[in-house]
A and B are shown apart, each in its own frame.
Chain A
């Protein structure tokens, strides 16, 4: 099964907002409300930032928000901070395998 498509890199200055896109198909993103987003700092364990498209786990800043339109999901980070510099992965349920598929990953750089 093919990975979801994310931009390889996104950058922004401190305080700015950035948006990471995640494009799939009707078999995954477009067909279900089960998109999650994970942040992974270098050498660290992935961390859940958003689940079920737009829900934030307890303890996750409201600077992180998720949305979905058609076959594309998006993660917006507002008020960009140095600690936001990391790799970000989207994930969705897919009917192709009745399991999940990850995105290709996006490296966020804080200028």
Chain B
């Protein structure tokens, strides 16, 4: 079964660092892009960025460039989303997702989603 399993909920203070994970199984990890999506409380979906594990090509949406780091570990079939200094406004649910079609040149329709990681940042 194709799955993306994300790490558990996090409660952090402003200024702390955090790295959440998304472990893939049931498919060839390096052949599909992995995207990260943010959903703030009561709000809509926002694309954060994507990474292609095979060659580490990583792209960020303008709003998130410089704010987070997206990476992937091919030995562990795991993608990561990382913050160096959290803010209260980072409080949200974060989803990882995989496109329906493999390959370097397709990263559009996301048909496999992780269960989401809730990140709460509060002093």
Q: Please list the residues of chain A having a beta carbon within 8 angstroms of any beta carbon in chain B.
A: 1, 3, 34, 36, 38, 40, 45-48, 50-52, 55, 57, 87, 89, 91, 93, 97-105
Contacts and interface: CB of A to CB of B under 8 A. Distances in A.
A87 B45 CA distance: 11
B108 A52 contact: yes
B61 A48 contact: no
B108 A57 contact: no
A99 B65 CA distance: 12
Which of A1, A3, A48, A89 is most buried by chain B, counting CB atoms within 10 A of its CB?
A: A48
A52 B62 contact: no
Q: Which A-B residue pairs are the 3 nearest by beta carbons? A: A51-B109, A105-B44, A48-B111
Nearest to A92: B108
Given A99-B50, A100-B47, A36 B108 contact: yes
B46 A57 contact: no
B49 interface: yes
B111 A1 contact: no
Interface residues of B, number: 24
Nearest to B111: A48
12 contacts: A34-B108, A36-B110, A38-B45, A38-B110, A46-B97, A48-B110, A51-B100, A51-B109, A87-B44, A99-B60, A101-B47, A105-B45
A23 to B, nearest CB: 15
Contact of A97 (B44, B61, B108): B61
A57 B109 contact: yes
B77 interface: no
Contacts of B109: 36, 48, 50-52, 55, 57
Nearest to B45: A102
B45 to A, nearest CB: 5
B115 interface: yes
Contacts of B63: 1
A100 B44 CA distance: 14
B98 to A, nearest CB: 10
Nearest to A96: B62
Contact of A51 (B45, B59, B97, B108): B108
